[in-house]
Homo-oligomer: A and B are copies of this chain.
Amino acid sequence: MAYGYMGKVLEVNLSENKIDSYSLPDKTLELYVGNKGLGARLLYDLVPPGIDPLGGENALIVTTAPLTGTGAPSSNRFNVTTKSPLTGAIVDSNCGGNFGIHLKRAGYDALIVRGKADDPVYLDISDEGVQIKDARDLWGLDTEKTQEQLPDKTGKMVIGPAGENLVKFACIVSEERVAGRSGVGTVMGSKNLKAVSAGGNKKPAIYNEELFKEACKEWRDQLRSHPATSEELPQYGTSIFINRTSATHTLPTRNFKYGQFKDADKISGETLAEEYLVKNIGCYGCPMRCGRQVKVDEKPVKGPEYETLGMLGSNLMISDLQAINEWNRQADLLGLDTISLGNALGFVMEAGEDGFIKTDLAFGRSDNISQAIEDIALRRGLGDDMAEGVAHLAQKYGGEDYAMHSKGLELAAYEPRTAVGQGLGYAVANRGGCHLGAGYVVFLESNGPITVDPYTTKGKPGLAVFNQTVLEAISTLGSCNFTNYAVFPEFLLKMYNRSRLVSKVVNNSLMLGGNQFGKFMYSPKGAVLPKKVFHHPFPHIKAHSHCTGNEMSPEDFLKLGQRVFNMCRLFNAREGFSRRDDTLPRRLTNELQRQEEPRSRVPLDEMLPTFYRLRGWDQNGIPTERTLRKLGIEK
């Protein structure tokens, strides 16, 4: 059995009531490692082309990675891969929380669910064995109540009413975390699978315990000392980006018509932290604790992430942060992806305004949104159409220009006309309009520590390739993308490789998130030279992973990311996807973004009094005697 792995995959066929487990070939693990890499390979092999995503032939594939449950920080994410009912393309949605750890403790690296149960069931996976259990009592419960009914001290993944009702953008919920995008919860619902619980006492073997522990400690220390992961994310969570993207016109506003929201600050991470935050919450074993806890109906619940604030806030012209807290809570309970939800609401608001749809939903009006959310989850009235996503809405009602999606997946909360590399990323992402599938190029174009010229196309294809490649590799290793900020790739590679030399080389040549950012900045036309990035001095030096004992070089690390991206592409190609699907809404490629309300002026009166005070001058702008004395200036 390979180090880092449990050595077994659990396969359950709900149509045949069959439970099976088997080992995967070493070669498969070596090439596809875990999480989204392994998920993509398995989906390609298990699911023939052209099947109905909601039929029994589709497979729901839950994967973990070697680092999961080993004590490596920020590396316990699990992954759900399936053929998406929203897009028909591959979807891999990954999720924090602790389900992956518990699945491994039960002895499995992955769970494959095929077929369809006749009645609602849930899966109970433990050291005592695997059971398909009756879930008729759970059916109809929200995601919180469902989890409360499952055994304590296990990992849980559940769907809410949205998944049961086959809302095309239903998500899977695990603790407060969500595998959100492209209808992974819908596929679970289509199989009549309400929940999975897993737990046990097994542990993966580690290749070199001592060195591995040492590297984990170093990694944690790094996360605890880097400003992004020790200050920014703990203090403000992902919502820190709201004010920044608004400043750079990258915050979707009024269904992506504009990129700047005049009330951005009211829904910002800063306002969230100052006025609503109860405490920080975080994934198991992660020192960052970037999750927010806020109060809804006097109860402490999970607060909104950046994407939710953007899609339910600025995109709908809503500046009432508490309302967003409540809708976010409602969507989590019902099991709805808030990104697609915000898009569906935005579409209906704009199409309604222009007479395509009769609706009382309108930009800036918050009073009937909660009702609309419930209608979607329960498929009532117009909600029944909204539950099919914006591509369907445009097809049925017209207003194609208002449907902000790529490959059928609604766009995340970055307006790419002011970050064209992110636009390219959205268009070519295998799962459709997802910010992470896009390679999160926007981080370099708008809201990150450096600014690559956001308008130029020069260098952007290379930047998209590089970022996607790196994010695919990180996700495949089971780590959170936020490790990017602080430790990638130095520590990631230190975990995966034994040699400090290799990690230093990579740190100095690939580096996302640290000093070497400076290098990017000074490239011609503000763009990145991908050749410099790919061709670092010692790409071929291999070293053993402390965890798996496998060998990997910096080049192999990038190759892993490339392999996974290609594996996903291959699945899509077999389904008939090609260049014509690598596209964006006409609004983004043909219409120029306008400023709704230009707000740039110099508010001098707001700043002068403080300036004078800090200078030690009187309010007429003249140095006081005291100041002159302190500075030793004689008149």
Contact = CB atoms under 8 A, between A and B. Distances in A.
Interface of A: 31, 226-228, 231-232, 235-236, 243-244, 247-249, 259, 265, 268, 270, 416-418, 420-421, 423-424, 427-428, 449-451, 453-457, 460-462, 464-465, 515, 517-519, 521-522, 524-526, 530, 559, 562-563, 565-567, 569-570, 573, 577-579, 581-584, 588-595, 597-604, 606-608, 610-615, 617, 619-623, 627-628, 631-633, 635
Contacts of A259: 600
A449 B621 contact: no
B623 A604 contact: no
A566 B526 contact: no
A275 to B, nearest CB: 13
A430 B613 CA distance: 17
A236 B521 CA distance: 13
Contacts of A423: 602, 604
Contact of A526 (B244, B526, B584, B599): B244
Nearest to A226: B518
A430 B619 CA distance: 16
Contacts of A518: 226-228, 449
Contacts of A600: 249, 259, 417-418, 455, 592-593
Contacts of A582: 604, 608, 621
Contacts of A565: 615
A573 B615 CA distance: 15
Closest 10 CB pairs of A and B: A423-B602, A461-B610, A461-B611, A592-B598, A579-B621, A417-B600, A232-B522, A227-B522, A563-B631, A593-B600
Given A417-B601, A598-B594, A621-B582, A450 B449 contact: yes
Nearest to A602: B423
B617 A602 contact: no
Contact of A598 (B562, B593, B604): B593
A351 to B, nearest CB: 22
Contacts of A268: 525
Nearest to A240: B522
Contacts of A579: 608, 612, 619-621
Contact of A607 (B457, B573, B594, B599): B457
A427 to B, nearest CB: 6
A599 B455 contact: yes
A430 to B, nearest CB: 10
A59 B597 CA distance: 50
B243 A602 contact: no
A613 B622 CA distance: 63
B457 A603 contact: yes
Contacts of A591: 601
Contacts of A573: 621-623
A521 B449 contact: yes
A418 B633 CA distance: 36
B457 A606 contact: yes
B604 A424 contact: yes
Contacts of A418: 600
- Most B CB within 10 A of own CB, among A259, A565, A621: A621
Contact of A460 (B249, B566, B590, B607): B607
Contacts of A456: 243
Contact of A465 (B31, B462, B525, B611): B611
B633 A570 contact: yes
A247 B417 CA distance: 12
A94 B374 CA distance: 68
Given A461-B610, A462-B610, A563-B633, A526 B247 contact: yes
Nearest to A519: B227
A621 B249 CA distance: 30
